Structures are given as C-alpha cells and as structure tokens.
Structure 1
Amino acid sequence: MTRTLYFSSAPKDASPRNSVVLRDVVKVYGTGGTTATVLDGVTVAFPRRTLTAVMGPSGSGKSTLLHCAAGLDRPTSGSVNVDGAELTALGETELTRLRRDRLGFVFQSYNLVPTLTVRQNVTLPAELAGRRTGAEAVTRVLTRLGLAAHADSRPATLSGGQQQRVAIARALLSEPAVIFADEPTGALDSRSAAEVLGLLRGAVDTAGRTIVMVTHDPVAASIADAVVFFADGRVVETMPRPDAGAVASRMATLGAPAGTNGGRR
C-alpha cells in the first residue's frame, strides 16, 4: 500500500494516520543578541508503523528536532502532537508520564545502569513508574532480542552490540507508540550495527511500532521507509524508499561527508 509519508503543509487533523506531527516548530537558544535559531518553522509528520531516518550536517537541527518531538525539550513556538497528545499543552508531570508510558528511547550511549543486571535494566522504567511487569513478558522480549542467556549479566560483561540490544529491549517492553533513536549505531562495529538495525526494522514490521531515528550513516538510513534531510534548521527534502548510495550523494550536497558523525544538534 502506498502511503503519503511526509508533508510540508500539515492537514488540520493528521493524528489518525501519523504518530508524530510537528507544525511550525521554532526552537531558539540563548537570549538578547546571542540567540541561535536551531529549528526554523519546521512542519513535518511521521506516519504510524514506519521507520524514518533524519539526517543532516552538523548543527542542522536534527537532534533538536528529535528532542522536541519526543518531549525532551520544549519548542520556542509551534505545536508538537505525539500519539494524539499535544505536548506543548502538557505540564511537566503530564509530559513525564507520557514519555514514560507511551514513548521509548534508544541512544548511542546505551544509558544502562552498570550495577544492575540486564533484566533489571530492562524493567527499571516500569518499576520507577510503579508498574508491575510480568516475568513472562520480560523473558519474551529478552529471548526475542537474543539476550535470554545474559539476563543475569551486568552491562560491563557485554559487547557494545549486546548493550544496545538491552537498551532496545527496555524501549520495547512497555510497548510504546513511538520509539525515538538518536545515533543508535554510532558506537557499534558494522556487524553489531546491522543486528541492531534489523531489530529496529523488526519492531516496525512485526510489532507495528513507529520509529524516528537520527543517524549520520547512509547504510543505517537505507533500512528506513524514508529519509528526512535537514539543513539550517529546516526540512529540505524527503526521500522515500532510500538506498545507501542515493543517501550518501544527497548528504554530500548538504555539506556533510557521508559516514562522518555530525554534532548533537
């Protein structure tokens, strides 16, 4: 089935078919004469049950876009709707609850607690939220991600790829509506990166999740349903059904050599 993946002028009601919608989002850092506009009137949507790669040169605004879309940072103006909830209308307590209950996060640095076992790391967000997680559900997600034999191991005994699998298991356990991934393969070797990308792709195709992934890697972007290219705080192009060669060529024209890790913004 062909879907309209992205748009530059958002319809009035995009939430039934889109998990994430940003409209006219502006993000300005600083005050007075030292301001920097990192997002400059961004309007974009991410459809349900798709994986989107967000790419751009260092300083283009791609990670700031992800942080605003995920409720980790508030835009200066504009609106952000995630899974039917208007984030800009929520207070801090409500926003924290939404991130905890309906969103998942995977970062380059894994963000695992070194003193906890794999099983404890995976169940930690639910425990902090006061939710009980059934042992069968935990075992099921660990088995699916090839971690069952490491359930009682600590992160330091695992490879980088295995640690990232733990982070993905933690994100999947609560069955989130949207998973936000920021350079999830940036610290991995090519084999581990391929395994992690396969797991993320499977979360969309098998479990019906929506994933928004910031990456600098054309190979990682090639598993996406589409790539959103960023430059100077704006969406400059979208590429459906990308392949690594076409992505690398487009990145080169944006001033970011393919395969180099851009800045966090």
Structure 2
Amino acid sequence: MFGRTSRARRKARPARSAEALRLDRVRKVYGTDEAAVTALDEVSLSLPAGSFTAVMGPSGSGKSTLLQCAAGLDRPDGGTVTVDGEELTGGTEAALTKFRRTRIGFVFQQYNLLDTLTAEQNTTLPLRLAGRRVDRARVHEMLRQVGLAERLAHRPAELSGGQRQRVAIARALVAEPAVVFADEPTGALDTRSAREVLTLLREAARLHGRTVVMVTHDPVAASYADTVLFLADGRLVGRLDAPSVDAVAERLAHLGDRTTTAANAAPHTVMEV
C-alpha cells in the first residue's frame, strides 16, 4: 500500500534516534490518600525505531495511561519519558505541544476528524497547526497510498468507518513523526476494515521506519505487531515476540498468574523490545 520513500526525501529528514521511545520508572497515581489508585507503577521500557508494539492488558491495567504519558498527553507523577532522543517530562506545556505536533502522530478509536473539513483538509491539519508548508502533491500521494485518492473532497459523513480511520492514519503520518500512538484503532471497525487499517500501521513501521505503539484488547489486532507487551495492575508483566492470535489469547488468559511474570522477578528492569 505504502510506496517506498524516495532517497531525496530520506536525506531531507532530520536524523532520528535509534531508540524511539523510553520510559524510566514512570509512575502515575490518580486520587489521594485512601482513594489513590496507582495506574502506572514504576514502568520502564525501551522501543527501537521502526518497531510495531502492541500493549495489552485487562480493563484498569494502565494501558491508556501508559499511552497518554508516553505521548505527552498526560504528565507522570514520577520517572521520565524520552521520545526520539528528547525528554518530554519537565518542559513547558507550549514546548510539549510543539513537540507533539512535529514528532508524534495519533490515531484514535473514534477517528477525531473535523466534520466540516474534507479528507484532504483533515490530513493537512497537523501541518497547518504547526505552521509548516503544505505540499499538496505529497498529501494527495499519502491519501492515495491509504486508498483514498477518489475521496479527497469527501467529508467524514460521506466516508465509511474504515475510510475515516484511513484518513486518520494519513493525518498521523503526514508530518513524518518519530512515533505514532494508536489507541484501539480498530475498535469501531468491521473485520475487513480493521485488517486494512492494521496492515497500514504495520507498513508504516516496516516501510517508513515509523515506530507504532498500539493499545488494543483484540488478540487479532495484536498479532499484526512485532511484539506485544502485557500490563497488569500498572506493571509490565510480560512480552511476546512474533505474536500469533492463539499465543496472545493464551497469554491474556494467564495474566493473573503473577508468579510466572518477569515483572515480579525484576520489577524495575527496563523491558527492551
């Protein structure tokens, strides 16, 4: 689906860090005193550039909090988050917003498209917000690569759910971010559309070197990733490389068996992918 990047465009890009994402002892607590809930408990991990990682766990395990802290949408109460070689924690909100617009892409379950804008206009929105020049030819090519060459002027209400999510993926990739965070990107899609969206995310990593971090509850979606990380009670409790649907489902079924998890053996070890 995605064409390979030209040599000229590769040279024009700034150098990327070999380590796309790093969390060091990240902690997040909601509430105070007896009502305090630890959403993330000293989480440490390292993801290389160009990897596709799925994050899974039961409801309340900390999946969404992990994504929000890693993407700079929420500030952890402790620890550090480093994206593409730059630490996110400690900066001003204005600096963080600018960083997100240039180095981070987002794909959400409910698309988050603006109803009054066309597919082309929704795709270029991150560039306009960042004050960057819009290369319409490149935007058209991006939309062609996600199968929407004939839908440039269509608004979200005129598109199917799968088409809307493909616009969201084009929007996430158009600014050439270092990391793309996807929060349940197939949760609202039918099976065929979900498969197409997951293939696009996998190609973004394999062909374009983007680092994709996807939160999902679906073993089928997770099987498209290179690695699956499992969370339970705010801690990383395991990983699975080259995942299959059956292997993911089996691991999820046994997450409660805390005696077999690597996290209990070494709770503060950096989990490298």
For the criterion TM > 0.5, the same-fold answer is yes
Residues of 2 paired with 1:76 and 1:121: CA distance?
Answer: 34
Which residue in 1 is equivalent to 2:163? 162
Instruction: Show the 5 A alignment for 1:212-227.
Output: 212-227=213-228
Which residue in 1 is equivalent to 2:247? 246
Shift of 1:253: 1.6
Which residue in 2 is equivalent to 1:112? 113
Residues of 1 paired with 2:32 and 2:253: CA distance?
Answer: 33
5+ residue gaps, structure 2? 1-15, 257-273
* SS of match in other structure, 1:59: coil
TM-score normalised to structure 2 length: 0.86
* SS of match in other structure, 1:90: coil
Residues of 2 paired with 1:105 and 1:150: CA distance?
Answer: 21
Residues of 1 paired with 2:17 and 2:144: CA distance?
Answer: 32
* SS of match in other structure, 2:213: strand
* SS of match in other structure, 1:148: coil
Which residue in 1 is equivalent to 2:35? 34
What amino acid sits opposite 2:93 in the alignment? E
What amino acid sits opposite 1:93 in the alignment? A
Shift of 1:170: 0.2
Residues of 1 paired with 2:230 and 2:109: CA distance?
Answer: 20
Shift of 1:16: 4.5
Instruction: Show the 5 A alignment for 1:192-207.
Output: 192-207=193-208
Aligned residues: 241
**CA RMSD, aligned part only?**
1.1
Deviations, residues 219-245 of structure 1 (Å, cap 9, x unaligned): 111111100000000000011111110
* SS of match in other structure, 2:170: helix
What amino acid sits opposite 2:134 in the alignment? T
Deviations, residues 110-150 of structure 1 (Å, cap 9, x unaligned): 00001111111111121122212111111110111111100
Residues of 2 paired with 1:146 and 1:87: CA distance?
Answer: 34
Deviations, residues 165-205 of structure 1 (Å, cap 9, x unaligned): 00000001001110000000000010000000000011011
Which residue in 2 is equivalent to 1:176? 177
- Percent identical among aligned pairs is 61
Residues of 2 paired with 1:21 and 1:103: CA distance?
Answer: 14
Deviations, residues 59-79 of structure 1 (Å, cap 9, x unaligned): 000110010000000000001
Residues of 2 paired with 1:115 and 1:82: CA distance?
Answer: 32
* SS of match in other structure, 2:89: helix
Q: Which moved more, 1:28-37 or 1:193-202?
A: 28-37
Residues of 2 paired with 1:111 and 1:253: CA distance?
Answer: 34
Which residue in 1 is equivalent to 2:237? 236
* SS of match in other structure, 2:143: helix
* SS of match in other structure, 2:33: coil
What amino acid sits opposite 1:247 in the alignment? V
* SS of match in other structure, 2:188: coil
* SS of match in other structure, 1:150: coil
Residues of 1 paired with 2:85 and 2:131: CA distance?
Answer: 24
* SS of match in other structure, 2:27: strand
Deviations, residues 62-118 of structure 1 (Å, cap 9, x unaligned): 110010000000000001000011111211011000100111000001000011111
Residues of 1 paired with 2:95 and 2:68: CA distance?
Answer: 17
5+ residue gaps, structure 1? 1-14, 256-265
TM-score normalised to structure 1 length: 0.89
Instruction: Show the 5 A alignment for 1:24-103.
Output: 24-103=25-104
Residues of 1 paired with 2:221 and 2:194: CA distance?
Answer: 8
Which residue in 2 is equivalent to 1:208? 209
Which residue in 1 is equivalent to 2:138? 137
Deviations, residues 8-43 of structure 1 (Å, cap 9, x unaligned): xxxxxxx94320000111100112332111000101
What amino acid sits opposite 2:197 in the alignment? V
**Displaced runs of 4+ in structure 1, greater than 3 A?**
none
